[in-house]
Amino acid sequence: MRRILPLLFCVPLLCAASGAARAESVSVPVLVPLTGFLSLEGTSQRNGALLALKNPPAGITADAPVIDTGTSPEAAVTALERAAGGPVTAVVASMLGTQMLAMLPLAAEYKLPLVTVSGTASITEQSNPWVFRFFPGDAVTKEAHARYVVEELGKKRPALIYQTTAYGQSGKAHLETAFKRLGAELVFEEGVDPAAKDLLPVLTKALAAKPDVLVLHLHSAPTALFVRQAAASGIPVPIVAGSAMHQPSTAALLEPAELKGVCAETAASPISGGSPEVEAFTAAYRAAFNAEPDAFALGQYDGTRMVLDAVKAGARSAEDVRKALSTGTHQGLAMTYTSDGKGNMAHSAVIVCYDGASRVPAIVKRYDNITGVVK
Amino acid sequence: MRRVLKPTPTLTLPRWAGEGIGFAVLGAYALLYASPYGLRVLTVAGVYALAAIGFQIVFGLGGALSLAHGAFFGVGAYATGILGSQLGWTFAATFPLSILVPFLLALLVGLPVLRLESHYFALATLGIAQVVLLLAVNCPGLTGGANGLPGVPGIVLFGWAVPRGLPLAAVVWGFVALGGALAWSLARGRWGRALTLVRDDPLAAGALGLDVGRLRLGAFALSAVYAGAAGALSVHTQRVVSPEVLEFPVMVSILAIAVVGGRGRVAGAVLGAVLLVHLPEWFRFLERSYLIVYGVALLATIVLLPEGLTGLLDRLFPPRRRALPAAVAPSAAASVEGAVLRVEGLRKAFGGVRAVDGVALTLEAGSITGLIGPNGSGKTTVINLISGLERPDAGRVVVAGQDLAGKRPDRIARAGIARTFQAVSLPEGATVLEAVAAARLERDRSVAEAEAHALWALERLGAADLAQRPCADLPAALRRRVELARALARQPAVLLLDEPAAGLTDAEKADLAGHLRAIAAAGTALLVVEHDMGFLLPLAGHVLCLDQGRTLYDGPPAGVRGDAAVVAAYLGEDAP
């Protein structure tokens, strides 16, 4: 079965080719950061979208021009303006929050649905009906993060180390609220610049506060650096990291032994398996891109599939797609997606942990239907 | 006798022609061909052009590598973002404030950092940019933190909400045209010329009566005005402000635009912005590899066109050579008789070395005084102390009854003291006429008037035929002549000459001596530092000899060779 399932990702392509004469044609530009500090995540996002668009449902052909948005809002708006020059069904939009915030007014003006995996909370707080987030926001993931720390590990004195970026500040705010509500006292919190080359000072300061768990909310490279320095120091408390830790590209920066006992929250962990469909996705992804998929790839795949399914179901315009995304439910590979009325489609998160023997984590806890106050 | 050089028979254009044609081409493209995407890119190019025009003022004209320019851009952007999205203020209120805030910030930080030398200044301004960025990220209550502030309203002009596309591009480029015209006018005027001299030789600028600190601060603050305006327009074009506007890539882009376009030129800022904003878009189809191609293209441009795109255009289409003005003598300085400079008890030590120790001298109007002594005896230091390049530890420098000891060089120059330097320093990119006219910028009402007076000074020294030659092409003797003309153009009461005959042939020395006598005969007091006794002693009416900072001899030139102390310390027994 596992060998057959990846073929399912190719069958629609064959069907589409044979029925090209009556195929419904859609254009879904992919505007993601392929260069700059978010290039790894942006590449995952692109790959997830392309995997869906190159294997559309039968009767649909998809055009998917890819435009690099870099990391500046200005470049993202320019990319959207460029993409909007032709007939567009929906747009796969950057996972970078500041770029999304800049693209939103233009998307509303052009009436283009933006399908993203950005975790920045405020993008769905702009009363803009054209944004759809297929990745749990911080209101979901940080709730799961804090609950796992307090309820499953029984820790009450967490130390929080976060990034001084939009991602970091948003996560920090949600973690503070969640820990307070769960009765855990943050004994230490400090922001770290993404360019910091040595995290031992902040680790030392955190341990001086005598925490019973280290909670990280850092980008990929700083997460790997912190975990490596913590392993080298032989710290006596567990680490529960943010979603960057689950990325195979982050784990690849560490030895399996350094990962022992480290856990992380994430929307999904496709390499951890869990269902034949997810395993088929992972195999197809590896075959197509010679890389390991992460939650961003899977989330973007699911979001793009929902767009294509909407077209398959009869959506013929961007407005039709928007309505379908706003009101429909999609059984994706990572979770079930449905809008909360603001464009937040994902409401589940998982906790993964590494056993110290491999870089593939196991899913140890799943949190579904989390609702939270988005900050 | 003035000779006007005949222009070479090449295709020449008026100086404004290139800019005019460029704007016409851009306008035609925007009106006839550009898609909404093309207009968007053009609008962004306009924003960067405006920022780069400001950078040309502080970096191109003023020569100060201000890495705070990106920060001023960001401050203007945040002013618009905060006032527009949080307080709901309209463009009419936010735009002036987005200019005012970076202007005031530049004045505040400019006072301390502009005293620093080049690379320290660059580092200090980089520090300012980092502080502003950290504030933006870490004050989320005001700035929205790392997420920034969405919901910035668009531009509203006289009740008209300017829509995206052509109207927005037209408004942005309207500001570019306005800002460009102002900068162009300033660059060609007295202020721009003075700033250029400050860039090329700040010591000479001060000695020519120009207030170097004030000029630099003015340039720094004015550049911040442009940056703030560009930042404000940038926020209106993307409707959100976030810390990216304060990050280093913005600064690097502006710097690259200025260098690629052509340093110091308004047209360079516009050309550079249009090219560098479009270049990544042209290569975008290469996906991730476009950065490599973009980098190679940028590097090739810088290596192959060191003077930028405007330099290339100047080579292809040389600007029309301007006709020389008619030489006009400046109004005669008030005639002074008797002592015009009195120096008393002048002292200066560098660490434990007493460079000048109790020197006193008096210069009478129309006199020529020689200042001699072995190397390191303190001659140049005396000139530096009198002209304000060094601050004396003690002593008085009295000019027209005023003690000017320790005052700034420009203040002393304005009091009537001019000087030349041991190592002649003329601005390499200027013509002789422009270099000499720099001496009149502080006094005359216009560049044209300054050039007319400069030509008079050149004519007095028989150097009018050099007027249109670039200073960089001149041999050493002519460079000394031009420098003397520059000092003479100040109509000084006192002229301090530091080894004016060094490197000259005998014929040139004789010629120079004749000119110096004529200058003295017109009432100017000359203090001449010189080692060539054959040149100096027949010329001077009085001679001072220094040794180890102290006056060894003070008397008529005839007594110099017979003075045992002078012979022992300086001339030597075998002196002719």
Q: Are residues A165 and A259 in the same domain?
A: yes
Give the pLDDT of residue A22. Answer: 56
Q: Does A193 touch chain B (CB under 8 A)?
A: no
Q: What CATH number is attached to the domain comprising A249?
A: 3.40.50.2300
Give the bridge partners for A329, in sequence order. A338
For residue B294, the model assigns a pLDDT of: 80
**Would you say residue A227 lies in a domain?**
yes
Residue A222 structural domain: 138-266+349-367
For A115-173, write each residue's pLDDT tens digit. 999 988 889 988 999 999 999 988 899 999 999 999 999 999 999 999 988 788 889 99
Three-state DSSP at B36 gives helix
Interchain proximity A126–B146, CB inside 8 Å = no
pLDDT at position A11? 46
* Contacts by B37-40, CB closer than 8 A, 24 or more apart: B37/A78, B37/A81, B37/A82, B37/A84, B37/A85, B39/B164, B39/B165, B39/B166, B39/B168, B39/B169, B40/A77, B40/A78, B40/A81, B40/A82, B40/B164, B40/B165, B40/B237
**Nearest CA to B369 among B413, B339, B414?**
B339
Each of the 576 residues of chain B gets a pLDDT tens digit; together they read 344 444 444 455 565 666 777 778 888 888 888 899 999 999 999 999 999 999 999 999 988 899 999 999 999 999 999 999 999 999 999 999 999 999 999 999 988 888 777 778 888 888 889 899 999 988 888 998 888 999 899 999 988 999 989 999 999 999 999 999 999 999 989 999 999 999 988 889 999 999 999 999 999 999 999 999 999 999 999 889 999 999 988 999 999 999 999 888 899 999 999 999 998 888 877 777 777 888 888 888 888 888 888 888 888 887 777 788 888 888 876 677 788 999 999 999 998 889 999 999 999 999 999 999 999 899 999 999 999 999 999 999 999 888 999 999 999 999 999 999 988 888 888 899 999 999 999 889 999 999 999 999 999 998 889 999 999 889 888 999 999 999 999 999 999 999 999 888 999 999 999 999 999 998 999 999 999 999 999 999 999 999 999 999 999 999 888 888 888 887 776 655
Asked if residue A374 is part of any domain, the answer here is no
Q: Which of these CATH numbers, 3.30.1330.10, 3.40.630.10, 3.40.50.10790, 3.40.50.300, describes B339-571?
A: 3.40.50.300
For residues A213 and A159, state if they share a domain.
yes
Are A42 and A113 part of one and the same domain? Answer: yes
Query: Residue B37 and residue A84: Cβ atoms within 8 Å?
Result: yes
The verdict on ipTM greater than 0.85 is no
Nearest CA in chain A to B38: A82
Pull the structure tokens for residue B478: 């002519």
Q: A362 and A246 in one domain?
A: yes
> Are A17 and A101 contained in the same domain?
yes
Q: Which of B236, B80, B86, B88 is nearest to B162 (CA)?
A: B236
DSSP string, B206-261: HHTT--HHHHHHHHHHHHHHHHHHHHHHHHHHHSEE-GGGGSHHHHHHHHHHHHHH
Residue A157 lies in a domain: yes
For residue A195, is it left (φ>0), alpha (ψ between -120 and 50) or beta? alpha
Q: Both A362 and A232 in a single domain? A: yes
Residues 6+ apart with CB under 8 A from A30: A46, A49, A50, A53, A64, A65, A66, A67, A91, A92
Residue in chain A lying closest to B145 (CA): A166
- Chain A residue with CA closest to B237: the answer is A74
Token pair belonging to A368: 């579904």
CA–CA gap between residue B379 and residue B373 (Å, rounded) = 7
Count of the separate structural domains present in chain A = 2
Let me know whether A318 and A359 are in one domain. no
Q: What is the DSSP string of B171-218?
A: HHHHHHHHHHHHHHHHHHSHHHHHHHHHHH-HHHHHHTT--HHHHHHH
* Mean pLDDT for the stretch of residues A334-353: 94
DSSP B425-484: ---TTSBHHHHHHGGGTTTSSSHHHHHHHHHHHHHHTT-GGGTTSBGGG--HHHHHHHHH
**Token pair for A36:** 């700059």
If asked whether residues A303 and A253 sit together in one domain, one would say no
Pairing verdict, β B368-372 and B525-529: parallel
Q: Cβ distance A107 to A132 under 8 Å?
A: no
Among partner residues B35, B148, B281, which is closest to A101 by beta-carbon distance? B148
Q: Which residues contact A20 (CB under 8 A, 6 or more apart)?
A: A61
- ∠ at Cα B275 (B249, B189), nearest 5°? 90
Q: What percent of chain A has pLDDT over 70?
A: 93
Task: State residue B1's pLDDT score.
Answer: 39
Are A68 and B150 a contacting pair at CB < 8 A?
Answer: no
Interchain contact, B146 vs A39, CB within 8 Å: no
Q: Which two tokens stand for residue B9?
A: 């028979």
* Segment A289-309 mean pLDDT: 96
Same domain, yes or no: A217 and A354 = yes
**Greater pLDDT, A357 or B428:** A357
In a domain, A326, yes or no: yes
| A344: in domain | no
Q: Is residue A164 part of a domain?
A: yes
Chain A, residues 122-141, CB within 8 A of chain B, namely 122, 126
Closest CA to B61 of B185, B187, B204, B182: B187
Q: How far apart are CA B474 and CA B342, in angstroms?
A: 36
| CA–CA gap between residue B461 and residue B512 (Å, rounded) | 9
CB-based contact (8 Å) between B135 and chain A? no
Are A101 and A231 members of one domain? no
Using CA atoms, how far apart are residues B47 and B386, in angstroms rounded to an integer? 48
Q: Rounded to 5 degrees, what are φ and ψ at A295?
A: -65, -30
CB B341 within 8 A of CB B403: no
Tell me if B427 sits within 8 A of B378, measured CB to CB.
no
B36-316 maps to CATH 1.10.3470: yes
A166/B140 CB distance under 8 A: no
Report which of B442, B437, B484 is spatially closest to residue B463, judged by C-alpha positions. B484
Other Cβ atoms within 10 Å of B81 Cβ, number: 31
Residue numbers in B near A36 (CB within 8 A): none
Residue A375 resides in a domain: no
Nearest C-alpha neighbor of B368 from the set B552, B571, B512: B512
A113, A325 in Cβ contact below 8 A?
A: yes
pLDDT (0 to 100) of residue B378: 92
B289–A contact, CB cutoff 8 A = no
* CA A14 to each of CA A54, A93, B266: distance values in angstroms, whole numbers, following the listed order: 11, 28, 58
Ranges of H-type helices in B317-406: 379-387
Does A132 lie in the same domain as A253?
no
B356 φ, ψ to 5°?
-135, 130
Could you say which of B41, B145, B164 has the minimum Cβ distance to residue A166? B145
Cβ neighbour number for residue A274 with a 10 Å cutoff: 16
Q: Is B291 on the interface with A (CB under 8 A)?
A: yes
**Is 70 exceeded by the pLDDT of residue A371?**
no
Which residue out of B42, B78, B135, B238 would a mutagenesis test of the A interface target, given it has the greatest number of A Cβ atoms within 10 Å?
B238
Distance from CA of B3 to the nearest CA of A (A): 56
Q: Please state the φ and ψ torsions of residue B359, each to the nearest 5 degrees.
A: -75, 140
Task: Answer yes or no: do B244 and A34 touch at CB < 8 A.
Answer: no
Same-domain status, A198 and A115: no
Question: What one-letter code names the amino acid at A248?
Answer: P
In a domain, A343, yes or no: no
Position A348: which residue type? Answer: S
Cβ B72 vs Cβ B102: under 8 Å = yes
Cβ contact B22:B271 at 8 Å: yes
Q: Where are the domains of chain B?
A: 36-316, 339-571
